[in-house]
């Protein structure tokens, strides 16, 4: 099915988003249960550093235009990519035009919500 194919740039953004979530989890694990650190095979700070490096590498793989937008929105939100379901953006819960839902080119370009600026993927 062609509509399960993700734009490669969007795939990168989703991976970045996943690693940022992981990074936040490590941060909160450290704060709430310092003793837990004994169960990790590597130092938490080291783990976080590795994640940050990976995120940096992947951000570097984004096209300049997408990277610029990512850098603009990422500091202000946990999720940079959100789904659009039944025409509603799940970043801001505002109804957005989904003329593109039937658009042939929908998976060729990375789209963004005009209201909140999130990268979006449209679920038909």
Which distant-in-sequence residues (6+ apart) come within 8 Å of 48 by Cβ? 23, 26, 27
Q: Which of 66, 106, 116, 122 binds Zn ion (CB under 5 A)?
A: 116
Q: Which of 43, 53, 115, 124 binds Zn ion (CB under 5 A)?
A: 115
Cβ proximity of 11 and 4 under 8 Å: no
**CA distance linking residue 111 with residue 52, whole number of Å:** 25
Contact between 112 and Zn ion per CB under 5 A: no
Give bridge partners of residue 82 from the DSSP assignment. Answer: 120
Contact between 89 and Zn ion per CB under 5 A: yes
Contact between 80 and Zn ion per CB under 5 A: no
Q: Which of 6, 44, 51, 92 binds Zn ion (CB under 5 A)?
A: 92
Q: Which of 13, 16, 81, 91 binds Zn ion (CB under 5 A)?
A: 91
Closest CA to 96 of 80, 66, 116, 78: 116
Q: How far is the CB of 98 from Zn ion (least distance, A)?
A: 12
Q: How far is CA 53 from the centre of its chain?
A: 16
Contact between 113 and Zn ion per CB under 5 A: yes
Residues at the interface with Zn ion (CB under 5 A): 89, 91-92, 113, 115-116
């Amino acid at each position: 099915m062609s509509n399960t194919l993700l734009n490669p740039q969007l795939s990168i953004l989703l991976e970045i988003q996943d690693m940022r979530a992981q990074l936040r989890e490590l941060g909160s694990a450290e704060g709430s249960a310092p003793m837990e650190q004994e169960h990790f095979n590597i130092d938490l700070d080291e783990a976080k550093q590795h994640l940050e490096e990976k995120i940096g590498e992947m951000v570097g793989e984004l096209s300049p235009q997408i990277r610029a937008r990512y850098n603009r929105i990422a500091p202000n939100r946990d999720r940079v990519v959100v789904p659009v379901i039944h025409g509603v953006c799940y970043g801001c819960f505002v109804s957005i035009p989904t003329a593109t839902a039937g658009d042939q080119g929908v998976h060729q370009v990375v789209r963004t919500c005009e209201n909140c600026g999130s990268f979006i993927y449209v679920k038909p």
